[in-house]
Structure 1
Amino acid sequence: MVDAESERRLRNAGTWGGLAVSAIALAGVMAATAGQGTPPTERAAPTAAQEPGCPPETGTSRLADPAMPDPATVTPQRAAELDRRLTEAAAGQRIPTADSPVTIPVIVHVLSRQDGTGNVSRAKIDAQIAGMNKAYSGGHGGADTGIRFELHDVTRTADDLWFRDFMGNEEAIKRELRRGDGGTLNLYTADLGRGILGRSTFPQDYSVNDWADGVTVDYRTLPGGGREKFDLGHTATHETGHWLGLFHTFQNGCSHPSDYVDDTPYERQQSAGCPEGRDTCPSRPGEDPVRNFMNYSDDACMREFTEGQGERMRRAWAAFRA
């Protein structure tokens, strides 16, 4: 077993100077309103990091195989509690409109092997941020959510153990690398294995485990990353939706209140591939939202957020991250 000091000597961590943070951008993220909380969520799978002595908390994730059990399933009870906390925290808050976009600073933490595996290029990172901006602005045909992203920095850490076992070393990784407050999106890339594409925390949980806050994706899901069916960058788009308070479109199945967004049709179960015309809740209006970014469809199928999802994300931003 490698002790902590020996492991640190094996690590070769470096930071790229990213885009300069303007005074205005910094002002927008310096004050994060603490929500009352519980912990993480989401595109396929995870258990969130935990404080010593505490039971593991579930996060939320995107799965590569929608047929496999999702260890990050959000129970109806937990979803209801998260929604209650959002409603209470957002009361009296000034909610941004889609006409005045919120710009979120992003710090990308690239984990890789010592031999360079996983050391994704700056070009792929730039493409990821551009892809998220296109998705969140309605560039694929969906609604403009009023959310934008700006890359502020990139860190690079070569550590074989951290790269291949992010979940098993999550607390150590995030406590060392994470930067900013609740309004800063920390995006980690690593090898998450075959089953999990990405994972995220919920904004309601920032006040409980601020060090755990952020989004993690498999490095191959970035644009051009080579993950079959999932390399257009929509895993980060999906997981960031959770980071901003969204549930999966199939949350609660055909039962009220579904995903707590009025304009996403009910859906009994997650989608796979791109099953256009599928209707798993025939007694409810509308076909399944298989093209929604908060589903499990292939990247090429995904193209939209709804106006209601945009409003919920902006409410969560004002309540917990602004």
Structure 2
Amino acid sequence: MKLFLTLAAVAASIVSAEYAQCGTPSPSKEHRAILNAAARAASDARKAIFSNQTLRVVDTYVHVVTTSNKTGQYSQDLVNAQIRVLNEKYVPLNAQFNLAATTFTANTSWATAAMGSREEYEMKAALRQGSYGTLNLYFVSDLPGGYLGFCDMAVSDPNADGVVLSGCMILADTMPGGGYPYYNMGYVAVHEVGHWFGLMHVFEGDRDHPCSGPGDEIDDTPIQLRPTVGGCSATTLQDSCPNQPGYDSTDNFMSYNIDECMSRFTPDQIKRATSLFDSFRAGK
């Protein structure tokens, strides 16, 4: 069934999703410093020892968690399509996601678990598999709070709870062919896994000094004040920091734009993400 919406409804839907899409919090100043040091060290080591073409194989467990009345709504075919999208979009990082297993669970309290809740922890403690370097994706049917997803960024020395919580919670309807308008090409998972690799939003900024400071710690993503809204044509370009070079990102996976506009990571994002994965996740 196709959805026919007025232009006003389309705009309202896009804006609503834009500003409540990802719940991944900004890292603290202390965490930023650790991430920056690790990225520099890993980058220098790779220049000296490793080829940039080193294949990063990421064992991946997918957990589909639904309310009892949505049992069977999300199939293995949808999961397989999502893994194909991840493998396609992470080619520039030389990352390959190996689907180790898929679980299907009907549990209403888990399927509606809020970020940071007891139910989130219980679900992950029960379902999570593998080590800290293993990716666990939780596709839940009814993620609350208006979020489409959130994911834990890596730390250098995780405690037991940090290992349990590591992974991404994503609204199941954002898988390829899912039912969420404008965000159903599987790119929400691409965005959240970007956080798992250590990337921040392109609109990160210093709250005390908007349009200045380190932003997302990436040199080739223009500094921007707020999430991208409205689409990908030239007429929708934003420049929320006019005193800084470049327009706001419309096609970057770490923005909030609609799926059809998203297409890339920048070279410096790729460098930082692979450096942090090599430091914090690989072999862990």
Same fold (TM over 0.5): yes
Instruction: Report matched runs for 1:223-302 at 5 Å.
Output: 223-252=176-205, 254-274=211-231, 276-302=236-262
Q: Does 1:200 align with 2:157?
A: no
Q: Find the counterpart in structure 1 of residue 74 from structure 2.
A: 120
Matching residue's letter, 1:122 = Q
Q: TM-score with structure 2 length normalisation?
A: 0.80
Aligned-pair CA distance for 1:94: 3.8
Matching residue's letter, 2:218 = V
Q: Check whether the contact 2:20–2:148 (CA below 8 A) recurs between aligned residues.
A: no
Change in Cα spacing, 1:287 to 1:126, as seen in structure 2 (3 Å) is: same
Change in Cα spacing, 1:69 to 1:105, as seen in structure 2 (3 Å) is: closer
Change in Cα spacing, 1:238 to 1:281, as seen in structure 2 (3 Å) is: same
Q: Find the counterpart in structure 2 of residue 105 from structure 1.
A: 59
Between 1:119-128 and 1:266-275, the stretch displaced more is 266-275
Aligned-pair CA distance for 1:112: 1.6
Separation in structure 2 between the aligned mates of residue 321 and residue 66 of structure 1, nearest angstrom:
29
Aligned-pair CA distance for 1:91: 7.5
Separation in structure 2 between the aligned mates of residue 91 and residue 310 of structure 1, nearest angstrom:
11
Aligned-pair CA distance for 1:159: 1.2
Q: Check whether the contact 2:139–2:169 (CA below 8 A) recurs between aligned residues.
A: yes
Q: Give percent identity, aligned residues only.
A: 33
Matching residue's letter, 2:175 = L
Q: Find the counterpart in structure 2 of residue 135 from structure 1.
A: 89
Separation in structure 2 between the aligned mates of residue 69 and residue 109 of structure 1, nearest angstrom:
20
User: Secondary structure at 2:17's aligned position in 1?
Assistant: coil
Aligned-pair CA distance for 1:92: 6.6
Matching residue's letter, 2:163 = D
Change in Cα spacing, 1:313 to 1:70, as seen in structure 2 (3 Å) is: closer
Q: Check whether the contact 1:111–1:118 (CA below 8 A) recurs between aligned residues.
A: no
Between 1:102-111 and 1:165-174, the stretch displaced more is 165-174
Q: Does 1:156 align with 2:108?
A: no
Q: Check whether the contact 1:183–1:321 (CA below 8 A) recurs between aligned residues.
A: yes
Q: Mind listing any 5+ residue stretches in structure 2 that lack a counterpart?
A: 1-14
Q: Mind listing any 5+ residue stretches in structure 1 that lack a counterpart?
A: 1-62, 138-143
Aligned-pair CA distance for 1:85: 5.2
Separation in structure 2 between the aligned mates of residue 242 and residue 69 of structure 1, nearest angstrom:
13
Q: Check whether the contact 1:221–1:233 (CA below 8 A) recurs between aligned residues.
A: yes
Q: Check whether the contact 1:64–1:197 (CA below 8 A) recurs between aligned residues.
A: no
Q: Find the counterpart in structure 2 of residue 27 from structure 1.
A: none
Q: Choose from 65, 86, 90 the match for 2:38.
A: 86
Separation in structure 1 between the aligned mates of residue 21 and residue 258 of structure 2, nearest angstrom:
18
Q: After the TM superposition, which parts of structure 1 deviate over 6 Å for at least 4 consecutive aligned residues?
A: none
Separation in structure 2 between the aligned mates of residue 109 and residue 70 of structure 1, nearest angstrom:
19
Q: TM-score with structure 1 length normalisation?
A: 0.72
Instruction: Report matched runs for 1:54-93 at 5 Å.
Output: 65-67=17-19, 72-74=24-26, 77=29, 80-84=32-36, 86-87=38-39, 90=42, 93=45
Deviations 1:141-178 (A, max 9, x none): xxx22222121110111112211235430111111110
